[in-house]
Structure 1
Amino acid sequence: MTVSVLRLKEWAHPVAPVRREVLSATPELDEGRPPVLFVPGFGHGAWAYAEHWLEHTASRGFPAYAVSPRGHGASEAAPKADLRAYAHDVVQVAASLPRKAVLAGHGAGALVVTHALARYPARAAVLLSPVLGGVSTALRNPGLVLPALFGGGLRLPAGQLFSRELPVAAARAYAKRLGRASTRAQWQLLRGVTPERAVGDPPVLVVGSPDDKIVSPSALKDAARAYGGAPLLFPGMGHDLMLDARWREPIDATLDWLEKSH
């Protein structure tokens, strides 16, 4: 049975319930492997994983799920949501799964996962192209994040998200599907909110690309070092690993790691 970790604040000031979108793909034969719960970055939704990774993960024998945190994808709108609410959505979905899950977050979704890990005893975690917030995020992409400082949305054009290997039409189509996170969550991201210690100290893998135009190579190394490891890098890929032209490479490497670790 999966147990989530609750604190007094959660009881005194509970996060409001919402309708959440959860997409899934399951293996033909259940071999008892841990489910993988994918968490999208700000502006993305569960659809970003449903495009390729959900079915591929299931074909490798891992039950695969993707949640759209409130205000994202087809989940209920939540214009005043914060990181705590997003992490709550992840924990609630993870706790509903039949076995202890692996949490995999992309972009700012990786930051959400780090906060969820303080409340959910995950089997493992994967931080994909992690945007963990703070001043370094703003300094690397001032043109992208400046609107967020004044209540606007974080702008993520196709050229910042994908490599040149992905056809332009596909890249633009994906970019048009992007929404935006709440203003409050954007502020928290830019300010930098340090998560509490993960429950149970699960193994954590950091995955990214040295050619990511949003996350620097040094940021990837720092994120991995914080969890006692080194990043798994895929040169030539863009920020959105799950949608880029060579999407199979990072997910296969991640699942290989899970097989060896568990």
Structure 2
Amino acid sequence: MAVLHSYVLASTPLTKIPLAVLNNEEHKMKVPYKLKQGQSRIFHQLPSGLNMEVIYQKKKGMQNKGTDDNMWAPLPPLVFVHGSFHAAWCWAEHWLPFFSENGFDSYALSLLGQGESDDPDGSVAGTLQSHTADISDFIQKQTTMSPVLIGHSFGGLIVQYYIANLGKDFRGNLAGVVLVCSVPPAGNSGLVWRYLFSKPVAAFKVTMSLAAKAFQTSLPLCKETFFSQGMNDHLVQRYQELMTASSRMPLFDLRKLNASLPVASVPNTSTQVLIMGAADDFIVDAKGLEETGSFYGVRPVCVEGVAHDMMLDSSWEKGAEVVLSWIKSLDRKDLV
């Protein structure tokens, strides 16, 4: 059974919207991502009139087992936010099917200028404020319950900005937040300086790979930057091609971004946060993981045997299992 690529201008919950076919010639990515069985590609229309790609996978069954108090409480939907050089497809590969099988409605977003989303005016895709506003608009209009918001790398920094401004600039309550290999609240400058002084060769490689985008042309460098050494080279090449096709525009102007950081702290926040890093992360080091944990007063979880792209790596299920266990432990009795 073929999976339809779906196109929709959304202003009401997805379950109530008719879907239309997205024709092949409408693809923005030069290397289109083929959806898996049970997935739909839809588009959420933002207040600006631009369309944001969403890959959606409906939950299977009612697998609702958790603690005794949570046994009959509904499982929250999950909203996934990618980082630089990625798009919604990075979650659709493994984590969307995994969480669907475990009873979650799952939505992976492509930020503007990335994946199949529309391009905004200007030379960069947006700012912390604009990306967060787009996510907030989606959550308000397209989820019927407060979701768990999951951000990876620079997507994690966007999620942190969401927490800091929830109830002020943004609406859309959250059932919880998961930060996966996230850039710390102060940004990536601390990571860069530590690498320069303690690991100059690694600092050169990171700069070449990310700032100069050498990961797009060097398979070994792409593998070292994002994946474990045991990752199959054919898969690395496939993801390398998708990452190159995904990022038509830089996610941020990094100079302006760093000038706006750190994100504001939120004393006594009621939002529950899981901070998760990878033991073999080439981009966010252990100190960066500790910085984020200290900022939120949470002990981070470091997953062994995975690299920065935890959701795509050869042992992707390790991180997914940690997130699943944590979400099922949340108090969901008052979830709306």
TM, length-normalised to structure 1: 0.85
Report SS of the residue matched to 2:177.
strand
Query: Which of 57, 81, 89 is matched with 2:99 structurally?
Result: 57
- Pick from 104, 123, 128: which aligns with 1:83? 128
Task: Identify which of 133, 148, 154 aligns with 1:102.
Answer: 148
Give 1:196 deviation, angstroms. Answer: 3.4
Distance 1:248 1:174 in 2: 17
Q: Which sits farther off after the overlay, 221-230 or 52-61?
A: 221-230
Unaligned runs of 5+ in 2: 1-45, 65-73, 196-202, 217-221, 332-336
Paired residues, number: 247
Q: Which AA in structure 2 matches 1:252?
A: E
**CA RMSD of the aligned region, Å?**
2.5
Structure 1 unaligned segments of length 5 or more: list them: 1-13
Q: Distance in 2 between matches of 1:130 and 1:48?
A: 15
Compare CA radii of gyration and give the structure with the larger one.
Answer: 2
Residues 1:255 and 2:324 aligned together: yes
Instruction: Flag the 1:154–1:108 CA change in 2: closer, same or farther, 3 A.
Output: farther
Query: Which letter does structure 2 place at the counterpart of 1:34?
Result: P
- Confirm or deny: 8 A CA contact 1:162 1:240 kept in the other structure: yes
Residue in 2 aligned with 1:182?
Answer: 250
Residues 1:247 and 1:189: Cα distance change in structure 2 (over 3 Å):
farther
**Identity value in percent:** 24
Is the CA contact (8 Å cut-off) linking 1:134 and 1:189 kept in structure 2? no
In the other structure, the counterpart of 2:138 is: 93
* Residues 47/137 of structure 1: CA separation in 2 closer, same or farther (3 Å cut): same
Q: Write out aligned runs for 1:236-247 (5 A).
A: 236-247=305-316
Structure 1, residues 81-126: CA drift from partner, whole Å, max 9, x if none?
2221211121111222111111100010000111122234211100
Q: 2:59 aligns with which of 27, 31, 50?
A: 27
- Residue 233 of structure 1 aligns with an amino acid whose one-letter code is C
For residue 166 of structure 1, report the CA deviation from its aligned partner.
Answer: 1.2
Match of 2:234 in 1: 169
Preserved contact between residue 107 and residue 130 of structure 1 (Cα < 8 Å): yes
- Secondary structure of the structure 2 residue equivalent to 1:45: coil
Residues 76-85 or 162-171, more deviating:
76-85
> Equivalent residue of 1:71, what SS?
coil
The code of the aligned residue for 1:258 comes to I
Give the corresponding residue for 1:3: none
